[in-house]
Amino acid sequence: MAKCEVCGKEVASGNRISIARSHVSRRASRTWRPNLRTVRVEVNGEKKKMHVCAKCLRSSKAVNA
């Protein structure tokens, strides 16, 4: 499935709660997906394509080659 190759962030799951939020609220399962980008990164002197999340790109954990 979707996973950042730098930090390991992957799909998370949980419940979607109705707006009413009453005692008998309906709940539906949902997923949160990481914001992945396919980027050319230089690793050990060679360039390769990696799936990296936007947070790692902003914090310069993975630098574009």
Q: What is the pLDDT of residues 20-63, one digit of tens each?
A: 766 667 888 999 999 999 999 988 889 999 999 999 999 988 88
Residues 6+ apart with CB under 8 A from 58: none
Instruction: Give the integer Cα–Cα distance in Å for 12 and 62.
Output: 22
For the stretch 39-56, what's the b/e string if a residue is b when 16 or more beta carbons lie within 10 angstroms of its beta carbon?
bebeeeeeeeebebbeeb
User: Is the pLDDT reported for residue 1 higher than 80?
Assistant: no
- Whether the full predicted model's pTM is greater than 0.95, yes or no, is no
Q: What is the pLDDT of residue 27?
A: 83
State yes or no: pLDDT of 19 exceeds 80.
Answer: no
Q: Which of 21, 27, 32, 59 is nearest to 6 (CA)?
A: 59
pLDDT for the residue numbered 63: 81
Residue 5: what pLDDT?
94
